[in-house]
Amino acid sequence: MGRGKIAIRRIENQTTRQVTFSKRRAGLLKKTHELSVLCDAQIGLIIFSSTGKLCQYCSEGLRMEQIIERYQKMTGTCIPDHDSREQLYGELAMLRKESRRLHSNMRRYTDEDMSSIPFEELDAVEQELERAANKVRHRKNELLHQQLENLRRKERMLEEENSNMYRWARIQEHRAALGYQQAAIEAKPVEHQQVLDQFPFCGEPSSVLQLSNITHQIDQYHLQLAQPSLQGSSV
């Protein structure tokens, strides 16, 4: 089966888009070099990635500026040449001014040489610090309240778990007691039967032979009267 056709639209997945860009950029540079060498063409290729990274190719023996100048001559367009140093100086002065302003504002909060700050600005700084402190206290109270609620919830869970374990233990004790009583009830007929086996004379004899055996066993249990001892008595 042949390779499936890929829809020509922007790839949404960033990782897949980057991998596709790297592969196709390498292929494009390779084809550009082959075209320049095989056909003796003067080619200038400029590529900017989505992240702003520059990648370029220029035919051997030429520079990109020469290719651009030739393009401008052929198309009749030109890039205006003007001295941008004044604009750069203006931007630099503005950045320096902004940096000094930010540094001055930072000194207000770090207690560094506040002697040059006027009273009105000190009042504003005090109000800002009070608002910041109030925000910090409010956030701190929120966090403490959340921690307290979590501890209470955990305490309720532990109490419920303890109660469930206590009920389970009581149920197990009750089952054990019922089993002990049941075992005792079942053991009583066995003990009674053992007593009857020891005393077979209980009940009615079924034959003359059994009656003679009963009489013999009864004789074994006759009590003998104790004779009084005369050794310790005096005449």
* Cα distances (Å, whole numbers) of residue 226 to 45, 220, 229: 138, 16, 9
**190-233 pLDDT, tens digit each:** 555 554 555 554 444 444 445 455 555 545 444 444 445 444 44
Based on its alpha-carbon atoms, the radius of gyration of the chain, rounded to whole angstroms, reads: 55
DSSP run (H or E) holding 165: helix 119-198
159-187 pLDDT, tens digit each: 999 999 999 988 888 888 888 777 777 66
Residues 6+ positions from 225 with CB-CB distance below 8 Å = none
* Mean confidence (pLDDT) of the chain: 77
How confident is the model over 65-94, as a mean pLDDT?
A: 80
Helix (H) or strand (E) holding 122: helix 119-198
pTM of the model: 0.34
How much is the pLDDT for 234?
44
Q: How far apart are CA 108 and CA 86, in angstroms?
A: 34
| The pair of three-digit structure tokens given for residue 82, joined into one six-digit string | 């003007």
pLDDT of 205 reads 47
pLDDT at 188: 59
